[in-house]
């Protein structure tokens, strides 16, 4: 079946602009995660959704970052007033977890490469 | 804070030689542990995971890893390297029942023909 998809695959924006990144999880997966991969910081957790709720948003780096999930499916990560340090690959993952306690496999999408000029 | 340490950001091995990629975790309570592989311009793919069942875990593509509590380690091995194994490998953990993955800094594996 289809895996996790993300759009756009590449996004170039100017400093100060807002961007929206989209994630379509695997059908039926209740858990959805956003991570960021950058040269300086490696792979960092941003936020975790269970259904439409976000019980863990501890990794969001500032209030310029927000995310939502609707219908227990698609998620959007929004970055307002982008800065050059926001340049990174943003990865989305999903899993079947309801009460997995952290043991379930997370399936990753190909990522969105964001470049802030 | 809990962490995952990967020793060696770059590892080179000859084709057919043993692959050994090192991973250590930081807590006294063993986490769940994962090895992921990332090929260029692709997402992460799970190789194998440890969830407190067998300490020797076998994964895809001939990889395996052994959980050693006494050493807080979860090293990844493959007996005979293949050119197609060239990629970046990430060790990751989930701690105390949390869902978020904590990643190591990654090891880039190069295979020498």
Instruction: Report A:46-105 residues touching B (Cβ under 8 A).
Output: 48, 50, 56, 58-59, 91, 93, 95, 97, 100-103, 105
Q: What is the pLDDT of residue B87?
A: 96
Closest Cβ–Cβ partner in A4, A56, A111 for B100: A56
**Interchain pair B43, A48: CB under 8 A:** no
Q: What is the pLDDT of residue B82?
A: 97
Closest Cβ–Cβ partner in A42, A105, A111 for B43: A111
SS3 breakdown of chain A: % helix, strand, coil, rounded to 5? 5, 50, 45
Q: What is the pLDDT of residue A99?
A: 63
> Which positions ≥6 away from B28 have C-beta within 8 Å?
none
| Mean pLDDT computed over every residue of chain A | 93
A89 closest CA partner among A29, A10, A27? A10
Given CB atoms, is A45 within the 8 Å cutoff of chain B? Answer: yes
Given CB atoms, is B105 within the 8 Å cutoff of chain A? Answer: yes
Mean pLDDT of A26-46: 92
pLDDT tens digits, one per residue of B15-72: 999 999 999 999 878 889 999 999 987 889 999 999 887 899 999 999 999 999 999 9
pLDDT tens digits, one per residue of A57-92: 999 999 999 999 999 899 999 999 999 999 999 999
Rounded CA separation A88/A105 (Å): 23
Q: What is the pLDDT of residue B30?
A: 83
Q: What is the pLDDT of residue A91?
A: 96
Q: What is the pLDDT of residue A51?
A: 92
Q: What is the pLDDT of residue A1?
A: 56
């Amino acid at each position: 079946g289809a895996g996790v998809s993300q759009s756009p695959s590449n996004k170039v924006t100017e400093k100060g602009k807002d961007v929206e990144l989209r994630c379509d999880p695997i059908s039926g997966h209740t858990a959805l995660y956003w991570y960021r991969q950058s040269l300086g910081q490696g792979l960092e957790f941003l936020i975790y959704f269970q259904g439409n709720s976000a019980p863990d948003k501890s990794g969001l780096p500032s209030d310029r970052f927000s995310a939502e999930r609707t219908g227990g499916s698609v998620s959007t990560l929004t970055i307002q007033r982008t800065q050059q340090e926001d340049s990174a690959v943003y990865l989305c993952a999903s899993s079947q977890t309801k009460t997995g306690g952290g043991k379930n496999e997370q399936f990753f999408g190909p990522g969105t490469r964001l470049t802030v000029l | 804070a809990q962490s995952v340490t990967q020793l060696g950001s770059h590892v080179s091995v000859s084709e057919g030689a043993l692959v050994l990629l090192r991973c250590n975790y930081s807590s006294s309570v063993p986490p769940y542990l994962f090895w992921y592989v990332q090929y260029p311009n692709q997402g992460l793919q799970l190789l194998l995971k440890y969830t407190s069942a067998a300490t020797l875990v076998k994964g895809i593509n001939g990889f395996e890893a052994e959980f050693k509590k006494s050493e807080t380690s979860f090293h990844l091995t493959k007996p005979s390297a293949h050119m197609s194994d060239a990629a970046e490998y990430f060790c990751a953990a989930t701690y105390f029942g949390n869902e978020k993955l904590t990643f190591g800094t990654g090891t880039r594996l190069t295979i020498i023909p």
